[in-house]
Amino acid sequence: MILGKQIRCKGIHFKDPCLFIEPHSDDIFLSLGYIVSKYKFHKKIITIYGSGKRINEAKKYAYKIGAEHESYGINGKGDNGNTIYNTHINSNLFIKYAKESKVFCPFGLQHPEHIAVRIAVEQYFLQENINYYLDMPYAMKIKNSEYINKQLETQKYLLSYMIKPPATKYNHIPIFRTQSMFFYYNNKDILKFNPEIILRKVDNV
């Protein structure tokens, strides 16, 4: 995957209100944490899956970075004993956000619930308003990186924004206590190499 300190391309301006949609409570933190916390614009995070402690963590993180938060509380794999992925999302959940002009959702790499969120977003929002953030840390796996590069090489997507965030981004890790096992094996010394990347479909640039 192409890396750099910072790249800004046509199509992204962090001055307007932005809606960030994440499958799980730590996805915006992992994928866009520095961008979302750095810019002082009106921002709202919607967490699709999870309840209880995980949602409390998402709310606490949103508060820390100056964002509003809303949870849809859909049970995903691992929630309340659920052992299968839940890929059924009613896109009408987004009806009150119809006027949002900037929506950020996962590109949908590997994880079935990430893919389900992308599909639901594409069913409801205008394509011209959708921005895709690369799902971290999935995007750093070789197979997924090769797929992403192919999408860029075939000009299906445009790289709109990319930045290598400072390690201080990961000072928020202690908030996500329910994910302590994940962060034990993926500590900030490993995660600090993960860039934050936003793509747009070429037709919408």
Q: What is the pLDDT along the chain (205 residues), one digit of tens a residue?
A: 444 444 444 556 666 788 999 999 999 999 999 999 887 778 999 999 988 999 999 999 999 999 999 999 888 777 766 767 778 887 778 888 877 778 999 999 988 999 999 999 998 898 889 999 999 999 988 888 888 888 888 878 888 889 889 988 999 999 999 998 888 888 888 888 899 999 998 875 5
CATH of 6-204, one of 3.40.50.720, 3.40.50.10320, 3.10.180.10, 3.40.50.10490: 3.40.50.10320
* pLDDT at position 147: 86
* 185/198 Cα distance (integer angstroms): 26
Q: Which candidate, 136, 151, 97, places its Cα nearest to that of 120?
A: 97
Cut 0.85: pTM above it:
yes
DSSP state of 179: G
